[in-house]
Amino acid sequence: MEIPSDCQSQPCAFYTLCPGVPKYSRSHKNGGTTTESETKKKPLGGLLHFLGPAFLVTVGFIDPGNWATNIEGGSKFGYQLLWVITLSTCMLIVIQHMAAKLGIATGKSLAVNIRENFSAPVSTMLGLTIVTACVATDVAELLGGAIGFNLLFHLPLWAGALLTVMLETILIISQRYHRIEMIIMGFLGIIGLCYLVEILLVRPDWAAIAPAMVIPRVDRDSIYIAMAILGAVVMPHNIYLHSNVIHSRKWGISDDEKTKLLHFEKLDTLLAMLLGWAVNSAMIIVAAAVFSHNNVVVTSIEQASATLKPLAGPLAGLLFAVALVFAGVGSSVTSSMAEVNVITGFLGKPEDPRTLLYRTAVFVTAIPSFLVILLGMDTFRILIFSQVVLSMQLPFTLVPLLVLCRRRKLMGRFRSGTREFVAALLISIVVIGLNLYLLYTTLAGRS
């Protein structure tokens, strides 16, 4: 069925619930979408219907870049940097809720809102920075998938990366958003289960873990990895992604309808972010319990897998590789979805999978990943550096998000209140301050 002409002119995603396009909608027994009366009668059913968009975001911050930063953080500093995961997750809950609310209130993604509400030079600058972040993201996702396939099936890295790209392309071009959503949520379940078993196998020191999760400790030696962990959790492309995929649900037309359904978005975001917190914390805990406890210096994900087997058993090594494959493929799918929205949104073009621009956008940011692999560069260092790039870009995503969410004319009753705005402002200040400290320590270390 053809998309209506009036829909084609809008900068909507390929999964947007376009009128007259049943294949893009989430079907129910009555042939429509969940209504307000249905959510009142069956609140659990209503919640289950609205769960999903935030879980796509979650797989993005348990990607292979997180593996590299968490493994290095846990192996070098033990449980010391667990507080970064807790802080990052608290930041994420606030920021991702604001991004989703922007999408619900305006019916447009963050990328489209920036293009329409900022001057052309500012919009262009912001667009270039987020595209750079998307390239860094793709490097992490495809490298992780390639390494995972290498560990499981001994494929060359280039073949593993190519397989990862092929799988993500098949899923995205299929134009079945809700099928993708269910697959990604399945991936999350597998990754979480693998790490749950690994924690049971390595038997960590829970007495040391509890305070490390909430008591900040950072110094000149650990700031670089702490910043990389922060960048790996609070990922700029995920903020753009959430503002876009939130349109996969019917939020009503009037502000009253949207307000009554908004609590489902809050629960979706909270549950998904807590799942991400648990998995990221588990990565550091396993690395600390196995590598730091045995004074092992980890310099690659491959070494981490090989070292894990004799120290924690072959099952731990197998689970490590399986989880890495699902993390690499899952996060590459969501990062490509974000990249397509960013590129089409800033250019003012529709997200139509049939266009050359859409198909080009799916592949173009993957090119640097293949160059890294073909040139034989240090993949572990590249993975960590890619996460620092994301952290450096964060202010250029957070500031326009704050500005847009504070505009009453744009947001109406969904405008950020004083408490939310102050919380988001403090988060931005912390992120910018840590970036400046990172820059200072990096330059001082080279002088």
**The domain spanning residue 84 has which CATH number?**
1.20.1740.10
What pLDDT score was predicted for residue 354? Answer: 79
When divided into structural domains, the chain yields a total of 1
| Residue 215 confidence (pLDDT) | 95
Task: Quote the pLDDT of residue 45.
Answer: 58
pLDDT at 341: 92
> Is residue 198 assigned to a domain?
yes
DSSP 248: G
Q: What is the pLDDT of residue 16?
A: 41
Q: Is residue 127 one of the residues assigned to a domain? A: yes
* Structure confidence at residue 280 (pLDDT): 94
Domain membership of residue 89 (yes or no) is yes
**Domain span including residue 132:** 49-446
Give the residue among 433, 84, 78 at the shortest CA–CA distance from 226: 84
Check: CB of residue 256 under 8 Å from CB of residue 267.
no
- Residue 446: how many CB atoms within 10 A of its CB? 6
Q: Tokens representing 193? A: 């289960």
Answer yes or no: are the C-beta atoms of 66 and 233 closer than 8 Å: yes
**Would you say the C-alpha torsion 420, 271, 329, 109 has a positive or negative sign?**
negative
Whether 286 and 195 have beta carbons less than 8 Å apart is answered as yes
CA distance 432 to 1: 48
Give domain status of residue 22, yes or no: no
Query: What's the confidence (pLDDT) of residue 168?
Result: 85
Distance CA 265, CA 149 (A): 35
- Tell me whether residue 20 is in a domain: no
Q: Within a 13 Å sphere around the CA of 383, how many CA atoms are in the beta-carbon half?
A: 28
Residue 21 lies in a domain: no
What's the confidence (pLDDT) of residue 177? Answer: 76
Return the exposure string of 347-363: e unless at least 16 CB atoms fall within 10 Å of the residue's CB, then b: eeebbbeeeeebbebbe
The residue ranges of the chain whose pLDDT is under 70 are 1-46, 174-175, 438-439, 441-443, 445-447
Identify the residue whose tokens are 């964060």.
394
Give dist(CA 25, CA 4) in Å, integer. 14
pLDDT number for residue 46: 67
Which value, to the nearest 10 degrees, does the dihedral of the CA atoms of residues 240, 325, 383, 154 take? -150
Rounded Cα distance between 34 and 28, Å, is 7
Q: Establish if 101 belongs to a structural domain.
A: yes
Q: Is residue 27 part of a domain?
A: no
